[in-house]
Amino acid sequence: MVAANMSGTEKLPLLVIGKFENPRCFKGIKSLPVIYRANKKAWMVSFIFEEWLRNLDRRFLREKRKVLLFVDNCAAHPKVLNLKSITLNFLPPNTTSLLQPMDQGIINNLKIKYRQRLIKYILQCDEKKIEPNINVLMSIRFLKSAWSDVSVSCISNCFRKAGFEDNSVEVDLDPDDEFDEDDDVPLALYAQRFNGSFEDIVRVDENVISVETRSEDDIVNDILGINSEPNSADSDNDDEVVESTDLPNPDDGINSIHSLRQCLERSVNAPERLFSYLCEIEKFMHASKSKQSKLDDYFNVA
């Protein structure tokens, strides 16, 4: 699930829903760049939406903000009462393709950037003659990177296209939002293998069901306050590919930062902000290393 403000200056963390609460690839992982939840069909369901919304409401309350939130009118998005900072506004039924800003090109742009990364990874594996290791964790990493690359202009233009701003302003998605020049050739080559276009690859999941279908029993349970969905899905997936049992430690991360810094120093016109990001990451890794040290590390214990 994606959400952003009308100006495009604030993109909320993605909500990713999988089938398994604790996939094997999450072993040793304690922080994710997205909000991850699970149910047996990997659908958006009402209790996940309500949990997400209430957590967001608490965040806005701490920040002393009042927010008007527009959401699709669908079975998986129930009315949530007693919100303190969020005013919830449902779009009219069957108007998503016209009035939902995310459906005006933002979601499609995210899919394009995600599949660019996925295909480049597959091509790299093909060149190295190794089997691609694609699991939930890798998909999350690609999604986070792709969401970061969805531009402010793309989001604000899509809001205008949906009528949230003056429609007299010409709406034109930035061409850079569609393809990066360096990506065009390998993506085109990949598409040729399937005798189709890259647009076919982007829209491959267009008809996949992603929300729950509400039955009469579900509606009755909601009224009675009964949650028919189990709190957690299966804790593991036997088919999931494990990346590696030899997980990196803080020292490995710090060494990698030094290597990245040297690469930047040897690059022409490297943006200063990238060096700043590395400094922040390095500071965090050093702090993490200190927390993992034990007291007896500083003494000679017999």
More confident position, 295 or 102: 102
Other Cβ atoms closer than 10 A to 138? 17
The reported pLDDT for the residue numbered 205 is 73
Query: Smallest Cα–Cα separation from 153: which of 97, 204, 90, 109?
Result: 109
Q: For residue range 109-144, list pLDDT tens digits in order.
A: 999 999 988 888 888 888 889 998 899 999 999 999
Q: What is the pTM of this model?
A: 0.74
pLDDT at site 213: 65
**For 226-279, what is each residue's pLDDT tens digit?**
555 544 445 554 444 455 556 678 888 888 999 998 898 888 888 888 998 899
166 — pLDDT class (breaks 50, 70, 90): low
Q: Using a pLDDT cut of 90, give the percent of the chain over it.
A: 40
CA distance 19 to 233: 7
Residue 24's pLDDT is what?
Answer: 92
Q: What pLDDT is attached to residue 1?
A: 93
Give me the residue spans of the domains in the chain: 15-202, 250-290
